[in-house]
Amino acid sequence: MYDKRQPYESDIKVPLIIKGPGIEENTTSDLPVINIDLAPTIISLAGLKPSRLMDGRPIELIGNKTKTERTMLVEYYGEAKDGTVDPECPWSYDKDNLAQCYPEYACKCQDARNNTFGCLRHIAKRINMKYCLFADNQSFTEMYDLFTDPYELTNIAQRVLPSVRHWYKLTLARMLACRGSENCDNPLETPSIVF
């Protein structure tokens, strides 16, 4: 209700408009970018070189824009805050795992500790996948082929080959640990997606 805390496209996609020196008017790009790319982009537009310790990479606003393959990390750490679950709400017994539950919002909680997740957003010429692993006691996994299921209605995590699921799990673990100029955008060799 207040913001975007879910791993789905409706929460993670945000339009970006940027204007600056050397950027042609009315130019659009379908290159996949994420929020951590903004600082290196602004630094590059200023004529400087981003630090090797900085996450993200400059957005290619000028020149060759043909490289569209990218594996991006989407992550969120769920909250649980003392004193934010109103005692009038029927689940105040679980107040250690919930956050921001108030009667004026029909006791709909804004967040929960088990809303901690890491996702891979994998975009390439013939791939448009999302793989998410939730940090709950069940290690719940979601996977969507966004070419055929753009609204993320059918979880295919158990339909893909175990080797494909394993590749995504390994790549996610690698990207969660990656920092700065460790070439975080280059995943392990991409598997064939087979259902």
Nearest-angstrom CA–CA distance, 77 and 34: 17
pLDDT at 194: 46
Q: Which long-range contacts (CB under 8 A, 24 or more apart) does 63-70 make?
A: 65/29, 65/31, 67/31, 68/30, 68/31, 68/32, 68/123, 68/124, 68/125, 69/123, 69/124, 69/125, 69/127, 70/31, 70/32, 70/122, 70/123, 70/124, 70/185
Distance between the two ends of the chain, CA-based, in angstroms? Answer: 35
128 forms bridges with which residues in the sheet? 123
pLDDT, one tens digit for every residue, the chain (195 residues):
567 788 889 888 877 788 777 777 887 777 788 888 889 888 988 889 988 888 888 887 655 555 678 888 999 888 877 778 888 888 877 777 888 888 888 888 877 777 889 999 999 889 999 999 998 777 799 999 999 999 999 999 999 999 999 999 999 998 888 877 666 665 555 555 443
pLDDT at 195: 39
Ramachandran quadrant class, 56 (left: phi over 0; alpha: psi -120 to 50; beta: rest): left
The amino acid sitting at 148 is T
Domains of the chain (ranges, CATH numbers): 9-76+115-177 (3.30.1120.10), 79-113 (no CATH)
Nearest-angstrom CA–CA distance, 132 and 63: 33
At 44, is the secondary structure helix, strand, or coil?
Answer: helix
pLDDT at 69: 80
